[in-house]
Structure formats: structure tokens, C-alpha cells
Amino acid sequence: MTDAVAATRRPWGRAALWLLVLGPLFFATYGYANALAAARADVPSLAFGWERAIPFWAWTIVPYWSIDLFYGISLFVCRDRRELDTQGLRLLTAQAVAVGCFLLWPLRYSFVRPHTDGVFGWLFDVLLGFDKPYNQAPSLHIVLLIVLWVRFAHHLRGGWRWLLHGWFALIGVSVLTTFQHHFVDIPTGLLAGWLCVWLWPERIRAPWREAAPARDPKRWTLAALYAAAAAVCAWAAGTLSVGAFGGWALWLWWPAASLALVALNYALLGPLGFQKRDDGRLSVAARWLLAPYLLGAWINSRLWTRRAPQPVPVIDGVWLGRIPARGQRARFAAVVDVCAELSLMDAREGDAVRPMLDLVAPTPVQLLDAADAIAARQARGEVLVCCALGYSRSAAAVAAWLLRSGRAAGVDEAVAIVRSARPTVVLRAPHLRALQALAAAPALAAAGLGTQNA
């Protein structure tokens, strides 16, 4: 057998091995958590009054059960070993996260399910043979729904993909209409599901693989501020939910989780935690998990630049500006995007994505990488160098390019050229020190100076 043929064969045997591990583990851990909760006399229930208006649809036990079929098939649709192991690890993590929550915070389903006869009744009887009303939040059904949805959507196109969306949406609804879960189990399941996908991404390195404590004090300051904001949101979610705001206040857990993840990025993960891919887009998981923060970041970028929204020419076809929205980059042959937290909506082949953290001075190595990316594209035509505002990270990158290309004899001249194009740029002492280090040691990559987590 040739190497080419071996490379195209799907890893059927490895998929079967994954299923042999995950299947028994699923039933063993799920049943164990159920048994422990059943032995307690004080398992609470969390339900809203309006949930009593949710209808019981016995037929939705069919889509509810169908997730088990999709679970097994998801391992066999993987095209190669890497995709398969990613899927297996996501499913394993889903089980660990959900069961961990069941053990720490058990909840009980409190509504009485109507009696059902026939085939649907039989399906309910089989289900109740091992599924007791204690494993609630997060709904493992919803956690797995996200993991499986992402996998199958990756392989389907056109009408088949729309059929998948419709059926999986029905599975999501079925956790309520089969009287298996209360509403709170759904958003918590969505959060846990996207966390599993975020932890084991595709098309980008896993965020934890290069985790290291930040060495820049400014990053720790920002991490502390975001963590404090997350704590305030969490406190408000718990406090206001028992007051006039009722259950609506529980949605504050979403920005709490989002801000906590941003704090983690500043403290440990660096730009990689935002999962910005080479196509300019944040991963789907990052967009869902960070949605409240991303909305605030986008609004902030538009408010700060509302009086000067257009990019400005610097020199020799290199422009400086904020990250363009959809349809705003048509005039540029290429874009060098140094923003970590916002997606480049109209990215094209040949664009360069060099993500840097906001409000933190780039390292000399990051500036060297961005400068070389600008130089490689400047000969093709006009190039836009952008970040969220076009005031700091992108300005430092353009200054670095001016130094590397010899268009500026020193840091002061490079900064002066950038300021003459955009007087509002913000290049403080840490930015200047990074530029000076770049000017003093052009071969920083070989010297090993500066890191992503500096």
C-alpha cells in the first residue's frame, strides 16, 4: 500500500476504539452522578413559572434519542486521525465538564411528565431505565449537540447542511418538550459545549498549548480589571435574579464568563486565546463565548473613531486605519491585520493576520513579524495596516516597517512619519522601547528576544 493511499484512508479502526472508550464511560459516569444525586434528600430544582406553558410533545422523543446515533457516527465521518482525535477529545471533555457539574451542583427536574403509550411511550420507558431526573445543568444533551453540530456542519453543504440545522434545532427543542430539562439547563449547556470546542480547535493551535504567565505588568493589570468586571457581573447575576429582575438577571453570567476568558487571555494565553485564524475570523467557539465582550469592543472601536473613520495614507502605498467592516476594504490589494479581538470580515487570500493584544505594547518579535508582512505585500499595491482603532498596535507595526525598510533612519523619525499621517496615534514609552529594540537588533527572531507572552 502506498503512502498516498494510506493517507486518504479514514481511520475506521481508531474511530471504533474511541467509541469503545467513550460509550461505556458515558453510561458509567452519567449513571454514577445520577445515583449520587438520588441518594441526597435535598436536591433543589430551578425552574421559571413560564416554563409550565411549555407543551409536552411525545413525538419529540425521536429527535431526542437521535443524538445517540449522531454521537457514534460523528467519530466515523472524520477524514483523518487529527480530526478524529479532536472530535474524541471534545466528546470526552463534554462528558467531564457536564458530569463534574452534576456532582458539584446537582439539580432535579420538577415537572410531572404525562403518561405516554405506544412506540413513543416505549422510547420513554427505555430512557427512564437509566436516565433519572437529576443530571440537569448543564444539559449534557445540549453540550453534545454543539460538539456534534460543529462536526457534521464541517462535512455537509447545501441542502444537506440546512437539513442538519433543522434537525439539530429540533433536538435542542426536544430537551424541553420531552420534559427532560428545565430552561436553565439549555444556556448552561450551550456555554459548556462551546467551551469544549474552544479547548480543542481546528485550523488553529489550541489556546492552552502555549500558555505561560505574562511578563508584562500591564497585561496583569488588564487581566485583573477584566477579572473584576467578570466578578461584578457574576455577583449581579446572583443578586438581581432574586429581585425585581428575576430570571433575566441570570443572563449576566454570559458577560461574566466572557470577561473571565478575556482576563485569562491577558494573564496566560495571549492573542492565541481569541482564536483568530488566518482567514481573519475568530473561531465560531470564540465568537460565541466572547460575544458580550466582542460586542463591546466593536462598539468601542466605532465610538473612538467616529470623527475619523477612514484610513489615512502614510507613505508609499501603506495606509493606517481601523479594522474595516464588511465591504470597506475594496481599494486595498492586501490587509495586514494586527487586531486579536475583532474579525476581519472581508479577508482575502494574501492578507496577513498577526494578532496582538489590545492596550498592550507589542513585543519586538511581534513588530518584526508585522513589519515583514507589510513589506511582503507592499509591492503588490496599496496595503491597509489595521487594528481595532488604528491608533496604537497598527501604528507601531507601520513604524516598525519604516525602520526595517530603511524609510526611517531611527525610531523618532519613524514615529514622526506615522504621526504626520495620523496625529491621534498613541505610541507610549513601552511602544518606543519595543521599536528601539527592533532597531538595535534586526535579527530578533534568531536572537530569541521577546515572546508572545512577554
Place of cell 465560531: 284
Q: Sign (positive/negative) of CA torsion 385, 390, 393, 396?
A: positive
CA dist 353 and 369 (Å) reads 10
CA dist 197 and 201 (Å) reads 6
Q: Is 387 a catalytic residue?
A: yes
Phi, psi of 24 (to 5 degrees): -60, -35
| Dihedral angle computed from the Cα positions of residues 356, 362, 363 and 368, in that order, rounded to the nearest 10 degrees | 80
Cα separations (Å) of 150 from 143, 158, 260, 282, 434? Answer: 11, 15, 24, 15, 40
CA dist 164 and 169 (Å) reads 8
CA dist 348 and 340 (Å) reads 17
Q: Sign (positive/negative) of CA torsion 242, 245, 249, 250?
A: positive
CA dist 256 and 227 (Å) reads 9
CA dist 95 and 30 (Å) reads 8
CA dist 95 and 155 (Å) reads 23
Those residues whose C-beta lies under 8 Å from the C-beta of residue 382, and which sit 6 or more positions away, are: 317, 318, 319, 331, 332, 333
The catalytic residue positions are 387
